[in-house]
Amino acid sequence: MEQIYVEKTASRGIAVARVYKHQEPEWTPDQHMITAAQMEEELGKFRQARENVMQELSALASENEIFAAHLEIAGDFALQEGIEAKIAGEQKNAQLAVHEVVEEFAAIFEAMDDAYMKERGADIKDIGKRLMEKLKGIQRQDLGMLREAVIVAAKDLYPSDTVKLSPEFVKGIITEEGGVTSHVSIIAKSMNIPTLVGVKGILNKLEDGMLVCMDAGKGIIVTEPEEEVQQEYLAKKQAYEEERARLRRLRELQAVTKEGKRISLCVNVGNAEDIRHALDMKIDGVGLFRSEFLYMENSHFPTEEEQFQVYKEAAELCPQELTIRTLDIGGDKELSYFTFEKEENPFLGWRAIRISLDMKEMFKEQLRAILRASAFGHVRIMFPMIISPEELKAAKAIAAECKTELAQEGKAFDPDIELGMMMETPASVLLAEEFAKEADFFSIGTNDLTQYLLAVDRGNKKIADRYDYFHPAVVKAIGEIIRAGHQEGIKVGMCGEMAGDSRATELLLELGLDEFSMSAGSIDDIRAEILKEQA
């Protein structure tokens, strides 16, 4: 018997079952170069494979929104153009061209600091594997055929694998790679399948048919457990399921503190599909819609109309407010179709609102799209990385220009749309009182705020223990932001990781936070913490 401790919990829960090791096919591409005479044949192979993949994804998109996003990626002109350029320009065979371009595109996302954006690289790789299946004439194992209780162990799973799983038979998932914000994790959560990801070297410790106990909440895997341990885990599993059932019942209750204050519980999302997944949690709305994802999955700056359709769909889905953060690229987030100059300190460089104010026409296209979507729901606009009242006033002035233009064009929008800002820089804390006179609301971004206040790179593992949003300086800053906002009568929310950490709930309530926005998987626990305070 061996007990293994794991850091990344993607979907909590407890399972006791035998291991099923999922073997990936051999994806290594042929390495040979082609002659000019073979070029058309290889281009034809790729185009046929792409057409077949598009047809598959079109059928799947009606069953799961994730595949609608995959369909967009597969149809991306930049992806197609890049692959065809490798074949025609560099004389690489279709398999090698697909492999190289998919890896290049995925690497753009995987290099990002934002966990949500980082995991989109897996979606691109899933498309690549579909293309390779067609080109190599191979078939992946169909996990939907499993008909006995198992814990699936794999190097990684992709959305097209995970969506086939049946919770009746798949009692748990363990992968060597992947992250907690991946689409695989989202699907596993929606199916209530306990899932641990990023467990390095685990396949070397697990064998097909080996009995395993796993507690995905605490991050524990027990191999070949003794009978007493098995019974202990089965009892824990029953208790856990009873507790989750209790938390689901709490969804019918509003999050109200013991003082009678109604707290808003919202989610952070990247698209309308994420909102759909969260609706069962009885959310109050979206506290952070990451609009940069729309830019990053495109082969060009999205047009006003393209953005409008996305924001409109999101607004119609939201039960209450939809807070759209304007473009937040730069730093670790880049675009395949736009070249950023190399910067020594990109997190302190040309990013977020600085780009928007410098690229006014692009900014106006986004603001016009958001304003038009505001006719279909309660939409709010949030500006990122503001460091001076002048920046906020400039952004508001451009929004006012857009309102005037839309009114002249006879296009509907909410004339009273709220314009707020992220509170994520030391400057925003020190000038909170001034900002509160200009902004309609605040949203505290604790991820960047903690990083900037403590001068700690949150992506640097050597100093990870120093990245602490419970640090007295961070707590004091949060309190000051809330105090300044309430002094001017504006709502103060939080959309950083701290909002979804149940250890921080009591503290944040004491400080007076009005809105908690987090990943959907944390909503039940934070609601329970708030209601516990009521008792």
Task: Give me the DSSP letters along 448-497.
Answer: HHHHHHHT--TT-GGGGGG--TTSHHHHHHHHHHHHHHHHTT-EEEE-SG
Q: In terms of C-beta distances under 8 Å and separation of at least 24 residues, what long-range contacts does 242-248 make, across chains too?
A: 244/13, 244/192, 244/524, 247/524, 247/525, 247/527, 247/528, 248/524
- The verdict on whether 277 is a catalytic residue reads no
R_g of the chain, CA atoms, integer Å: 24
The DSSP H or E segment spanning 167 is: none
Backbone dihedral region of 368: left (phi > 0), alpha (psi from -120 to 50 degrees) or beta? alpha
Residues of the chain by 3-state class (helix, strand, coil), percent to 5 = 50, 15, 30
Please list, in sequence order, all residues whose beta carbon lies within 8 angstroms of the beta carbon of residue 199, skipping any fewer than 6 positions away.
Answer: 4, 6, 8, 174, 175, 176, 221
**Please, is 77 exposed, middle or buried when counting C-beta atoms within 10 Å of its C-beta (0-12, 13-18, 19+)?**
exposed
**Phi and psi for 409 in degrees, rounded to 5?**
-85, -5
- Which two tokens mark 85? 């350029």
Catalytic residue of the set 22, 70, 99, 183: 183
**Which three-class secondary structure state does DSSP give residue 386?**
coil
- Which two tokens mark 91? 């004389």
The DSSP secondary-structure symbol of 100 reads H
What is the b/e burial string over 105-124, where b = at least 16 CB atoms within 10 angstroms of the residue's CB? bbebbbebbbebbbbbbbbb
Chain Cα centroid distance, residue 39:
39
CA 458, 463, 464, 465 torsion: positive or negative?
negative
Residue 1 exposure: Cα atoms within 13 Å on the Cβ side: 10
**Could you identify the residue written with the tokens 């051999």?**
26
**Please, is 39 exposed, middle or buried when counting C-beta atoms within 10 Å of its C-beta (0-12, 13-18, 19+)?**
middle
Cβ atoms within 10 Å, residue 475: 17
Distance CA 289, CA 277 (A): 14
What crossing angle do the helices spanning 304-317 and 360-373 adopt, rounded to 10°?
30
Do residues 6 and 196 touch, judged by C-beta distance below 8 A?
A: yes
- The verdict on whether 402 is a catalytic residue reads no
Tell me how long the chain is: 535
The DSSP H or E segment spanning 379 is: strand 378-383
Catalytic residues: 183, 495
